[in-house]
């Protein structure tokens, strides 16, 4: 997805200074850097002309056990572009491969550099990665850089996903570089500091499977189990235990995406994390009108990664993981295949279980009735046909109870509403409990495309970050409609052009 080809880096990046500065609470312990050389290459970020912090996530810094005071001086920006290396960091670029739009490719961190793993005071371990930090051995013809707009977009949307209660990588900071990046146009360059449970991807396993390196596959399996599935780490069948764990987490994750109308947009296997976190925010967007065929990415011509395709694509990606694990699943190939297939086949049922649970919550249903799935599907069908706004419809279902306030009031909706009201009457929970359940599962505020675009435009072309900060603050409380302006709660005004998103290169 590199649009403008630049010359490959001719010389090794200049070495940034390892200045300890203030410790700020960083505590690195870099288990991935200790893995054998085939897993990564050591590379320092390339220093930039003029580091400047444009957005910083104080609540996240606090939850990581970092001292916010350390980030108030202008010199702190140098750590978030890689001009200075945090004490204890051991920068590496990770090797990985992936299926991009169905085709196998060898990739690796071409513009992201993993500084290391920060241990929080409570013992949690997080990858700290600089995205856009300069070229690596895996940059191919890319410049190793990122533009400000896409980095702010990842910051805003990943934090919105977190606030929505969805597993995701987080964003600690965006710093501008003072250097232009050349894409279709010249854009301001920036570096995003990404915080993740890890950056181990389906494509990481595919990389070693592609090399036929079964030793590395085993090492990676153990490493991933210990890090993300400690309760499975002692299994007699580690590869199988890992596959099952990942399949379950992805089934849950995709159901979350569907619950809030999130379209990832580029679900290549290199963009699927074993941890179960949403990762690599490129051309992602949220649906306004409910439409399973919704596609926003300018390069997804065949709708491979359309909204409604996501469960199926997740299963496809997981099958690539299973394939990569085959050599270590069982010494006998037939037995390995049988096991892999069983686990992959379980994805559909797992996803539907999570999805139905989500739909029940969205409809305020505490009890379980056999017709619940059909009740939900009938509403979704109506929404699709009438192009109703996904977020708004669910959020306002109770308020729309009286026919005169039903919008758009049509016979199909009215009949559905009666059916639903009768269903609610068959459970004993009080109306207040129903509303509470619904409000906790139906966001009032999502990062609407038109609002995101406007905020990013103000920041990138007008150097005005106030709008972005306001949107970011509203998105921090997505289930809370109080205090929010109508502009944030309402669907885009009629006539708003359809959103097109671009890969963040
Ligand atoms: P993405 O589309 O961000 O998931 O990236 C896909 C692959 O392309 C990854 O291996 C990236 O490291 C690489 N890549 C994307 N943009 C650049 C760039 N500007 N320079 C070097 N590599 C890049
Ligand atoms: Mg990626």
- CA distances 417 to 74, 149, 242, 369, Å, are 56, 42, 43, 17
Q: Kindly state the average pLDDT of the residues 200-207.
A: 98
Note down the domain range covering 286. 203-355
- Asked if residue 334 and residue 220 are part of one domain, the reply reads yes
Non-local (6+) Cβ contacts of 233 within 8 A are 222, 225, 226
Does ligand 1 lie within 6 Å of residue 111's CB atom? yes
Exposed, middle or buried: residue 387 (CB in 10 Å: 0-12, 13-18, 19+)?
Answer: exposed
Ligand nearest to the CA of 142: 1
Express each pLDDT in 49-108 by its tens digit. 999 999 999 999 999 999 988 888 889 999 999 999 999 999 999 999 999 999 999 999
Q: If we measure between CA atoms, which residue out of 280, 266, 268, 260 comes closest to residue 196?
A: 280
Give the model's confidence band at 494: pLDDT under 50 very low, under 70 low, under 90 confident, else very high.
confident
With a pLDDT cut of 90, the percent of the chain lying above it is 87
Cα Dmax for the chain? 71
- Asked if residue 136 and residue 255 are part of one domain, the reply reads no
- Asked if residue 186 and residue 40 are part of one domain, the reply reads yes
The span from the CA of 109 to the CA of 111, in Å, is 6
Ligand nearest to the CA of 150: 1
8 assigned to some structural domain: no
- Asked if residue 169 and residue 46 are part of one domain, the reply reads yes
Q: What is the pLDDT of residue 267?
A: 98
Express each pLDDT in 265-277 by its tens digit. 999 999 999 999 9
Does ligand 1 lie within 6 Å of residue 16's CB atom? no
Q: How far is the CA of 85 from the centre of ligand 2 (A)?
A: 24
**For the chain, how many structural domains are there in total?**
3
**3-state class (DSSP) for residue 164:** coil
- Asked if residue 181 and residue 56 are part of one domain, the reply reads yes
Ligand nearest to the CA of 199: 2
- Asked if residue 213 and residue 124 are part of one domain, the reply reads no
Q: Which of 43, 99, 129, 139 to mutate to test the pocket of ligand 1 (most atoms within 8 A of CB)?
A: 139
Express each pLDDT in 225-254 by its tens digit. 999 999 999 999 999 999 999 999 999 999
The span from the CA of 117 to the CA of 120, in Å, is 10
Q: What is the pLDDT of residue 2?
A: 37
Q: Kindly state the average pLDDT of the residues 199-215.
A: 98
338 assigned to some structural domain: yes
457 assigned to some structural domain: no
Q: How far is the CA of 132 from the centre of ligand 1 (A)?
A: 9
Q: How far is the CA of 408 from the centre of ligand 2 (A)?
A: 40
341 assigned to some structural domain: yes
Does ligand 1 lie within 6 Å of residue 2's CB atom? yes
Question: Backbone phi, then psi, for 95, in 5-degree steps?
Answer: -85, 135
Of 178, 199, 220, the one marking the end of a domain is 199
The span from the CA of 505 to the CA of 183, in Å, is 8
Give the model's confidence band at 8: pLDDT under 50 very low, under 70 low, under 90 confident, else very high.
very low
- Asked if residue 370 and residue 345 are part of one domain, the reply reads no
287 assigned to some structural domain: yes
Does ligand 1 lie within 6 Å of residue 282's CB atom? yes
- Asked if residue 190 and residue 177 are part of one domain, the reply reads yes
Question: Cα dihedral sign for 300, 303, 304, 310?
Answer: positive
- Asked if residue 269 and residue 187 are part of one domain, the reply reads no
Give the model's confidence band at 119: pLDDT under 50 very low, under 70 low, under 90 confident, else very high.
very high
462 assigned to some structural domain: no
Q: How far is the CA of 471 from the centre of ligand 1 (A)?
A: 28
Q: What is the pLDDT of residue 409?
A: 60
- Asked if residue 342 and residue 237 are part of one domain, the reply reads yes
Q: Which atom of ligand 1 is nearest to the CA of 1?
A: 2
Of 441, 461, 486, the one marking the end of a domain is 441
Give the model's confidence band at 15: pLDDT under 50 very low, under 70 low, under 90 confident, else very high.
very low
Of 323, 355, 387, the one marking the end of a domain is 355
Q: Which secondary-structure segment (H or E) carries 318?
A: helix 310-329
Q: What is the pLDDT of residue 229?
A: 98
Does ligand 1 lie within 6 Å of residue 271's CB atom? yes
Does ligand 1 lie within 6 Å of residue 150's CB atom? no
Q: Residue of the nearest CA to atom 14 in ligand 1? A: 110
- Asked if residue 426 and residue 330 are part of one domain, the reply reads no
Q: Kindly state the average pLDDT of the residues 190-202.
A: 98
Q: Residue of the nearest CA to atom 23 in ligand 1? A: 110
Q: Residue of the nearest CA to atom 16 in ligand 1? A: 505
Q: How far is the CA of 282 from the centre of ligand 1 (A)?
A: 10
Residues taking part in catalysis: 270
80 assigned to some structural domain: yes
Express each pLDDT in 386-409 by its tens digit. 999 999 999 999 876 544 445 556
Q: How far is the CA of 108 from the centre of ligand 2 (A)?
A: 9
465 assigned to some structural domain: no
The span from the CA of 21 to the CA of 224, in Å, is 33
Q: Residue of the nearest CA to atom 5 in ligand 1? A: 1
Q: Kindly state the average pLDDT of the residues 404-427.
A: 85
Does ligand 1 lie within 6 Å of residue 299's CB atom? no
- Asked if residue 322 and residue 251 are part of one domain, the reply reads yes
End-to-end CA distance of the chain: 7
Q: What is the pLDDT of residue 407?
A: 56
């Amino acid at each position: 997805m590199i649009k403008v080809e630049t010359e490959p880096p001719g010389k090794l990046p200049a070495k940034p200074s390892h200045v300890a500065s203030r410790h700020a609470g960083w505590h690195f312990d870099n288990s991935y850097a200790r893995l054998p050389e085939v897993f990564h290459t050591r590379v320092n970020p390339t220093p930039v002309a003029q580091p400047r912090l444009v957005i910083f996530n104080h609540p996240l810094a606090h939850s990581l056990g970092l001292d916010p005071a350390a980030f108030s001086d202008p010199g702190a920006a140098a750590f978030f572009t890689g001009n200075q290396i945090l004490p204890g960091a051991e920068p590496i670029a990770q090797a990985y491969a992936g299926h991009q739009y169905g085709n196998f490719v060898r990739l690796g961190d071409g513009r992201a550099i993993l500084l290391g793993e920060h241990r929080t005071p409570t013992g949690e371990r997080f990858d700290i990665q600089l995205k856009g930090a300069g070229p690596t051995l895996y940059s191919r013809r890319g410049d190793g850089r990122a533009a400000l707009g896409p980095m702010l977009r990842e910051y805003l949307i990943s934090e919105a996903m977190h606030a929505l209660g969805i597993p995701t990588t987080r964003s600690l900071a965006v710093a501008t570089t003072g250097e232009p990046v050349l894409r279709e146009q010249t854009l301001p360059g920036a570096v995003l500091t990404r915080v993740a449970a890890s950056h181990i991807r389906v494509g990481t396993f595919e990389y070693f499977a592609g090399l036929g390196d079964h030793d590395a596959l085993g090492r990676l399996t153990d490493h991933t189990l210990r890090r993300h599935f400690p309760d499975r780490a002692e299994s007699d069948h580690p590869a199988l235990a890992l596959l099952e764990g990942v399949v379950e987490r992805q089934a849950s994750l995709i159901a979350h995406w569907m619950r809030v109308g999130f379209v990832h947009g580029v679900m290549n296997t290199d963009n699927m994390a074993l941890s179960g976190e949403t990762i690599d925010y490129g051309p992602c967007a949220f649906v306004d009108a409910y439409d399973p065929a919704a596609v926003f990415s300018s390069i997804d011509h065949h709708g491979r990664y359309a909204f409604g395709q996501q469960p199926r694509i997740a299963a496809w990606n997981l099958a690539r993981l299973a394939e990569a694990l085959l050599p270590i699943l069982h010494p006998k190939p037939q037995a390995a295949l049988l096991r892999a297939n069983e686990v992959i086949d379980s994805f559909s049922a797992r996803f539907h279980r999570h999805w139905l649970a989500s739909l029940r919550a969205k409809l305020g249903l505490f009890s379980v009735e056999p017709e619940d799935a059909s009740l939900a599907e009938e509403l979704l069908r109506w929404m699709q046909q009438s192009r109703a706004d996904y977020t708004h419809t669910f959020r306002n279902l109770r308020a729309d109870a009286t026919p005169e306030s039903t919008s758009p009031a049509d016979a199909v909706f009215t009949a559905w509403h009666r059916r639903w009201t009768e269903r609610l009457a068959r459970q004993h929970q009080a109306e207040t409990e129903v509303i509470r359940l619904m409000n906790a599962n139906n966001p009032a505020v999502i990062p609407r495309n038109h609002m995101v675009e406007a905020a990013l435009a103000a920041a990138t072309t007008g150097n005005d970050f106030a709008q972005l900060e306001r949107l970011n603050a509203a998105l921090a409380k997505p289930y809370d409609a109080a205090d929010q302006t109508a502009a944030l709660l309402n669907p885009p005004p009629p006539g708003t052009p359809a959103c097109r998103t671009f890969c963040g290169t």
